[in-house]
Structure 1
Amino acid sequence: MFADSAKIIIKSGKGGDGHVSFRREKYVPNGGPDGGDGGHGGNLIFQVDEGLNTLTDFRHRRKYAAENGEDGKKRNCHGKNGEDLIVKVPAGTIIRDAESDRVIADMSGENKHQIILKGGRGGLGNQHFATATMQAPKYAQPGQPGIELEVRLELKVIADVGLVGFPNVGKSTLLSRVTNARPKIANYHFTTLNPNLGVVDLEGTGGFVIADIPGLIEGASKGVGLGHAFLKHIERTRVMIHMVDAASVEGRDPVADIYAINQELENYNPELLKKPQVIAANKTDAIYDESESAIPILKEEFESQGIRVFPISAVSGQGLKELLYYVNELLSGMDDTPIVYEQEFFPETVMLQEEAYTVEYSEEDDVYVVEGPKIEKMLGYTNIDSEKGFLFFQKFLREQGILEDLEKAGISEGDTVRMYGLEFDYYK
């Protein structure tokens, strides 16, 4: 089965922790701090690989993580930066946040290489915290954590023209005749299980890319049959060719078929009906009695609506040249800028949410409780037992706006503040 969607977990590298150490050299008593900085975590990058055309590889691997940065070392040695991880995807892949379904990136057009998750910054070593009054700081900064995110990959093929129609009307035969594509062809429904792409070369023109979208049926937009899985591939196309069986070999009504497919397109995305349409009335080679031909009915019904009807035979090649040159003419008068989806979700906001904190008053314990990842991390690398460390922590609370929030919550001098396992009295 053609793989055009996948869910994976991606993670950027954590920054290495800063190091706490002091110079210990012969004849140098009480040496100063020389703890090195941690290395930056690796970035998680998506890159287009022109050799790929499905997302099959992502069905065998669930998690992708960049390398963490190394911790800092003594003697001012900087930790090694983590290696970036490059995830290769086919052109046309859209990366969405799995929870909100908002677009993070569209790997189409000029966007061939994009950093999706930035690695965490490395923490500063204790050498950075030395001052005239605190010459031997016993704490260092931890590395910034990486960002972990579940994303949904969705492949929308990039083609100028979408070839749509009910099953078994000859789309694969047409594609194999006018392009270099070689789809499997057989006389039963749903032979085509994946969108086939081919390049149409027309003398005197630049040609165009055409995609055979698997056979649609009524109810496709609601998930009936295989249509729902492939309707998304029509969204990037600029022109649609409706292919119908003009000979009614299976007893189908070609006019009703076109209206049925247009209804499915509208149900899926009303914008699709704004695209120019052309009707390819196929299987003229199987029409033995002109009085039974559906072509006059098709022309009368649709050409009054501005939709051209071309009688063709995908088997013999009759009428294909006229059809293809007309489609090329339509394309030449349209904006050829590829359809690229704008970014709607910014992974950095995940970090901001994770870094949030809460300030609440507990009536039961008569204490003000402050909690949050940034508080917990700060407590993890600050020596609260030392006077200098406590002053450093107070500065952090003030700069982060936590003291201001405590005052807004109604705290008074002498009230107790609790932060995880730490309790202290509040004084300005």
Structure 2
Amino acid sequence: MEKANFVDFIRVFCHSGKGGAGNVHFARTKYNAQAGVDGGDGGRGAHIILRGNAQLWTLLHLRYHKNILAEDGQKGGKSNMTGRDGKDIIIEVPLGTVAYDEETGEQEAEVLEHGQEVVWLRGGRGGLGNAHFATPTNQVPDYAQPGEPGIEGWKYLELKVLADVGLVGFPNAGKSTLLSAVSAARPKIADYAFTTLTPQLGIVPYRDDKSFCMADLPGIIEGAAEGKGLGHRFLRHIERNSVLLFMIPADCPDHSAQFYILLKELEEFNPELLDKTIILAISKSDMLDEELETEIANTLPEGIPHYFISSATGKGITELKDALWRALNESNA
């Protein structure tokens, strides 16, 4: 059910509304059959609008909306009456949703805040009625403007998870176990690779009723930047995280090599990811004694703060949370 319920990519055909045509009309009154021109303007075509909703965490509700067709504006009326605007279509999306044009790959909209409304595709403007074209030398123009066409094309929506801390590591590095230990989230935990297929979010309580959001992301493998494993579907989610927590299990044969493999995959996908604050956690450390911890610590990369933790016993968890909180405050500042 996990895979079926989490949808982070939707492809749709969109068409914003066409503007209504201006009206060609000649006024007639009881005492004047040639009272002048009074053709009204056409109404605006409907916009397609994206609205942020903090209660949504997936694009599942849009899965079967393959066509989003907005209403056209109405034609202008007589007596200078403007036609009715098309009714805008508002699409509720989770925070972190980005909209792209499929043909050009250009980013067209981004929603990051609850209640934020972004006009994704604008409706066409209504045409001017013939009343606008009357001049002293042409007092009865018999023409008006047509409405502008709407915008159409194949688009796609992509969800990038919004979280303060993103867990990065190979499969079975203990990411899900850590999330379940420090938050109320209950991700699936099992002793095989790719237990986590979709991002899992948890709110981590901190001192003085403070908290921060942590994301358990699907495990990375070497070659993920080229699309191997879950590839880009995993990597794009960490673009939103302020702090990256690299997790390497204590029983790994070469902790430094595994760290640099993870770092390389992030760099190949997006070099800007390396500008984020990185903290290293050696998980499953309850199996280590002080001598082994010292030996491992000497092999770890310099300049990267590291912590030996155990989600099973709680070892080092408080110190890790303190470090994450400090890093989040520094990155926000």
TM-score, normalised relative to structure 2: 0.91
* 2:155 corresponds to 1:155: no
Residue equivalent to 2:236: 232
Equivalent position to 1:59, from 48, 59, 63:
63
Return the index of the structure with the highest Cα Rg. 1
Contact 2:18 2:72 in 1 (8 A): yes
* C-alpha contact (below 8 Å) 2:125/2:148 kept by paired residues: yes
On the 8 A contact 2:225/2:266 being kept in 1, the answer is: yes
Amino acid at match of 2:225: S
What's 2:224 paired with? Answer: 220
Match of 1:301 in 2: 299
| Coordinate RMSD, CA, aligned | 2.2
In structure 1, the residue matched to 2:274 is 273
Task: Give, in whole Å, the separation in 1 of the partners of 2:290 and 2:319.
Answer: 21
Q: Are residues 1:96 and 2:100 paired?
A: yes
Once the 2 structures are TM-superposed, how far is the Cα of residue 290 of structure 1 from its aligned partner? 6.8
Contact in 1 for aligned 2:42/2:128 (Cα 8 Å): yes
**Do residues 316 (structure 1) and 313 (structure 2) align?**
yes
Residue 179 (structure 1) shift = 1.3
Listed as ranges, the gaps of 5+ residues in structure 2 are: none
2:240 and 2:197 map into 1 onto residues whose CA distance is: 19
After superposition, residues 235-254 of structure 1 pair within 5 angstroms as: 235-248=239-252, 252-254=253-255
Alignment check: 8 A CA contact 1:46 1:113 kept: yes
Alpha-carbon deviation of 1:90? 0.8
| TM-score, normalisation: structure 1 | 0.71
- Partner Cα distance (2:272, 2:126) in 1: 47
Aligned twin of 1:397: none
Residues 54 and 114 of structure 2 are in contact (CA less than 8 Å); yes or no, is this contact kept in structure 1?
no
For residue 167 of structure 2, what is the amino acid of its counterpart? L
**Helix, strand or coil: the match of 1:334?**
helix
Equivalent-residue separation in structure 2 for 1:110 and 1:140 (angstroms): 42
User: What is residue 332 of structure 2 aligned with on the other side?
Assistant: 335
Q: 1:30 to 1:309 in 2, by over 3 A?
A: closer
Distance in 2 separating the partners of 1:39 and 1:239: 48
Q: Secondary structure at the match of 2:71?
A: coil
Tell me how far apart the structure 1 counterparts of residues 259 and 139 of structure 2 sit (CA, whole Å): 81
Give the aligned partner of residue 285 of structure 1. 286
CA contact (8 A) 2:282 2:306 kept: yes
Q: 1:264 to 1:297 in 2, by over 3 A?
A: farther
- Give the distance between the partners of 1:125 and 1:256, measured in 2 at CA: 71
Q: Distance in 1 between matches of 2:217 and 2:282?
A: 17
Q: Provide the C-alpha distance between the structure 2 equivalents of 1:135 and 1:149, rounded to a whole number of angstroms.
A: 41
The 8 Å contact of residues 33 and 130 in structure 1, kept in 2 or not, is answered as: yes
Bigger Cα displacement from structure 2, 186-195 vs 275-284? 275-284
Matches within 5 A, 1:107-122: 107-109=111-113, 112-122=116-126
Query: Corresponding residue for 1:13?
Result: 17
d(CA) in 1 for partners of 2:327, 2:38: 69
TM superposition shift of 1:111: 8.1
1:201 aligns to 2:205 (yes or no): yes
Q: How many residues align?
A: 329
- Counterpart residue identity of residue 274, structure 2: L
Partner of 2:171: 167
Report the secondary structure of 1:8's partner residue.
strand
CA distance in 2, matches of 1:104, 1:111: 18
Q: Which residue of 2 aligns with 1:211?
A: 215
User: Quick one: structure 1 residues 29 and 227, their matched pair in 2 at CA, closer, same or farther if it must change by over 3 Å?
Assistant: closer
The corresponding residue for 2:259 is 258
1:313-361, CA deviations, whole angstroms, 9 ceiling, x for partnerless residues? Answer: 112222111111112112222235xxxxxxxxxxxxxxxxxxxxxxxxx
- Preserved contact between residue 255 and residue 300 of structure 2 (Cα < 8 Å): no
Structure 1: unaligned runs, 5 residues or longer: 337-428
- Give the CA deviation at 1:21: 2.4
Which of structures 1 and 2 has the larger relative contact order (alpha carbons within 8 angstroms, sep 6+)? 2
